[in-house]
Amino acid sequence: MTTSNSATRVAIVTGGSRGIGRAVVERLASDGYHVVVGYRENRTEAEAALQVIREADGNAIAIAADVTDETSVVELFDGAEREFGGVDVVVHAAGVMALAPLADLDLDQLDRLLRVNVRGTFAVDQQAARRVRPGGAIINLSSSLTRFARPGYAAYTASKGAVSAITLILARELRGRDVTVNAVAPGPTATALFLEGKDEQTLAQIAAEAPLERLGTPQDAAELVAFLAGPARWINGQVLFANGGAI
């Protein structure tokens, strides 16, 4: 196995300007990776991530990319290779959520959700499969909701079930490449995406479901991503649930 030193490894993180992606960006940078912060529109948040990394003597750049547009994804990877010489780790954390009972969900919302969460995973993983160097890792973000069967989450859960399936198959398609492919499936995590529209009572009820009796943090997920990105070379083709034991 040929795994390069973490001080010279390069990581692309989609959705890297906020939420779990932001925590992953900061964690990998602290581990010595050169990091490419992929973001869609919010340059201000991406710049804030870069500032945190640079203040800690890390090395990072930000590149705008729409994960649903294959040309944009190609440009993201091209930019990483131009700046840092190659790609070792790809963390696909970009995603959107639409909540409603199945009978009430606007199908236009469903189309957008599937385009971002499923097509986006395909587009990012295609480039990762072609470009990640030996000793590298591809890590997708799925969700523990694939086990919760929570009402109102049919569309989002279906999309994340697809992410898990893509992950398991890609791991087997990369046989012989010395590249691991895994998914992290967080439980309820205190991000802006999750907290939006929920009152304190609802949040307390959800937090109480786990034996650890709290919501997850973006840093909880980032710890697992960092493990899969670096030392966890014998973990491959798996979906790892990070939810405090809720299921």
Distance in angstroms (rounded) separating the CA atoms of residues 174 and 189 = 31
Which residue among 33, 39, 153, 156 is the active-site one? 156
* CB-based contact 96:55 (threshold 8 Å): no
Cα dihedral sign, 64-70-71-74: positive
Question: For tokens 């990394």, what's the residue?
Answer: 53
Query: Is position 156 annotated as part of the catalytic site?
Result: yes
Give the residue from 37, 28, 59 showing the smallest Cα distance to 136.
28
Helix and strand counts by DSSP (H, E) for the chain:
10, 7
Residues with Cβ within 8 Å of 27's Cβ and at least 6 positions away in sequence, in order, are 219, 222, 223, 225, 226
Q: How many angstroms separate the Cα of 161 from the Cα of each of 48, 135, 149, 239?
A: 32, 27, 11, 10
Residues forming the active site: 156
